[in-house]
Amino acid sequence: MAKWAYILSILLVISFACFSLADSQQLQTQFENSTEIIPRHVIFGNPERISVLISPDGKWISYLTALSGVFNVRMAPVDNISDDRSITNETIRGVESYFWAYTNHSIVYRQDTFGDENWHIYAVNIITGVKLDLTPYKNVSAKIEGVSNKFPQELLIGLNDRNSEYHDIYRVNITTGERRLVLKNDNRFARFVIDDDLKVRLAANVTSSGDVYYLKPAGNGSWEQFMKINYIDSATTYPIGFDKTGDILYTSESRGRNTAAIESMNLATNETRVLAVDPKADAGMIMVHPTEMTIQAVDFNYYRHNWKVLDETIKPDIDYLGKIAEEDMAVTSRTLDDSRWIVVFISDNGPARYYIYDRNARSALYLFSADRGLENRTLSRMNCITIKSRDGLDLVSYYTLPVWADKDKDGLPEKPLATVLLVHGGPWERDMWGFDALHQLLSNRGYAVLSVNFRGSTGFGKSFTNAGDREWGRKMQYDLLDAVNWSIEKGIADPARIAIMGGSYGGYATLAGMTFTPKIFACGVEYCGPANLTSFLLTIPPYWKPDIEMKFKRIGDLRTEGGRILLRERSPLLYVDSIQRPILIAQGANDPRVNKNESSQIVQAMQEKKIPVTYALYPDEGHGFVRPGNGMSFYALTEAFLSMHLGGRYEPFGRDLNGSSITIPVGADQVPGLVEALAHKTS
């Protein structure tokens, strides 16, 4: 009897355990079903206010907000922000970035045409409303080279109107548009360093070995060497700028160390000083005094932003602001007399919050959040983690779980989840902690989301960045796979339901994942990524040519036989036969960085092999999706596609194709609801 009683008790325990598991899964499903599907327009619609600035005289506050569906500049008196008015009136392609001229009467911004990156520089008078194109030339990519409060009416602007590959420097009046040639770039300089007197002090040449030489004017139009930076340090060592006197040069400097420090160089004595350094992270954002042009604080971002104060006069201010919230903080704008700052606090599960800080009163007044629609929403937290690569590198990564999936708050879900691996672009950029709209959309739909700083990413020292050289499709890709394996081992990812997604380099990595490791990913979402590395390098914009040696060193040199072999080996287009799972591909027709042929040729190859593919082409976009209607349509398409192949929730298309230029040349029938949505789409 004792034996049978023991067996019966075991059976009861097993029965109870099975009941508890089923009950737990049912409760989890109920919780998932009861968690609202946050509408796409809430997550990806135009935020109400971003890029908040204060005018140099402190009288006005400005920001970007949606007008006619695209970003425009709006402004209001600092002491009465409800009395706002629009300064720009763009209707087709919005303002992406802008700044106040030191006249306090003009806003300066740049704009291209349908994503072609032929940038024009505009100045708008806030009093008269007159808009002046400072660079009224076709097929020219203009860029701001220098701004100084000493010359409020003038800017230095680079123009490649004479030679499409190189920019000459002009001094331009923002009121009259009058321009004067300052430097004719016959030396084929790649970039310049300008001082506070709007003088060209340094110019850079990139050699065939990838080394960078900075030269200084020697008189009579000649130049002499000032600084040589070997290729190994070229990503992390460069001049930042001069102080007001022009005698102190600030540099990002990694020579003799791994991570980039901030250093100062006294040009009269050649004395150099290390001002700030961190053993794990490169120097990032800096705070510069508005008139003295001295560096006052430096941000080092390993997992999150960490400010190191250099100037004791602002330490009480930083200490005070640090007590307002536990979120990451940055100062985005300062008055010329430095009495008022615009401060932003960055969160991972809510919109950015803006304050105006009065230094004299040492008080911060809350202005507004970037988007009230995101306030009081149930949003997910972003977890920071370091994952070891197979050869021992530290991969700083971030992952997000659905809010219902981690009830005990231990950073792990109760059961493995369908997962989306998001790969950042560049690749010489990095993922960071903070509010990420894609992380929020996908986690709300039921997916775990993983972002990985693979080798080649920036911010973690020159060794880590240089470790990505000529490792496209190899060790850079292995880092992504190692992170996927980590997520499976931790019980985060369901190995049968993992997608890979990314744009630009992330698009390349997506295609590499779907071709080189075809059984790992259930599907892929790729946008604006190169499929053939050889054709990609042959079609880059002409104004990238000054830095082409860097591209050859880091990707592969198509001028050598060994380089051509490497590029062919790493090109997903040549491995189309290996693709086993569906891919969604999106592309801007006017993309100057990654020619639309990169997408078209792999779509055609997949069609010929009868491999499932859906192709979205945007005739009025470039490298990415800037127009809001286009972005909304792409994310609607993405979540429907992922739902079909990973099983997550999705919001039906509704009217989210309206106002978009989206065309679907191939594969509309492979995404649920897409054919019907296209049939009812209005312009």
Separation of first and last alpha carbons in the chain:
79
For the stretch 505-508, contacts whose Cβ atoms lie closer than 8 Å and that sit 24 or more positions apart, written own/partner, are 505/423, 505/424, 505/425, 505/426, 505/427, 505/529, 506/422, 506/423, 506/424, 506/425, 507/425, 507/594, 508/472, 508/473, 508/533, 508/572
Residues 659, 99: Cα–Cα separation, whole Å: 29
Residues 536, 598: Cα–Cα separation, whole Å: 7
Residue with token string 């019966």: 8
Q: Are 183 and 200 in contact (CB under 8 A)?
A: yes
Q: Say whether the peptide bond before residue 427 is cis (omega within 30 degrees of 0).
A: yes
CA nearest neighbour of 498 among 481, 511, 515: 481
Please give the structure tokens belonging to residue 45.
């619609």
Residues 637, 650: Cα–Cα separation, whole Å: 10
Residues 536, 439: Cα–Cα separation, whole Å: 29
Residues 498, 513: Cα–Cα separation, whole Å: 11
Q: Taken in order 197, 291, 193, 219, is the CA torsion positive or negative?
A: positive
3-class DSSP string for 340-354: EEEEEEECCCCCCEE
Q: Are 640 and 650 in contact (CB under 8 A)?
A: yes
Q: Are 125 and 105 in contact (CB under 8 A)?
A: yes
Please give the structure tokens belonging to residue 459.
């911010």
The set of catalytic residues is 504, 591, 623
Find the length of the chain: 683
Q: Taken in order 362, 368, 370, 372, is the CA torsion positive or negative?
A: positive
Please give the structure tokens belonging to residue 293.
């042009």
Give the contacts of 580 (CB within 8 A, at least 6 positions apart): 518, 519
Residues 89, 67: Cα–Cα separation, whole Å: 7
Residues 300, 307: Cα–Cα separation, whole Å: 6
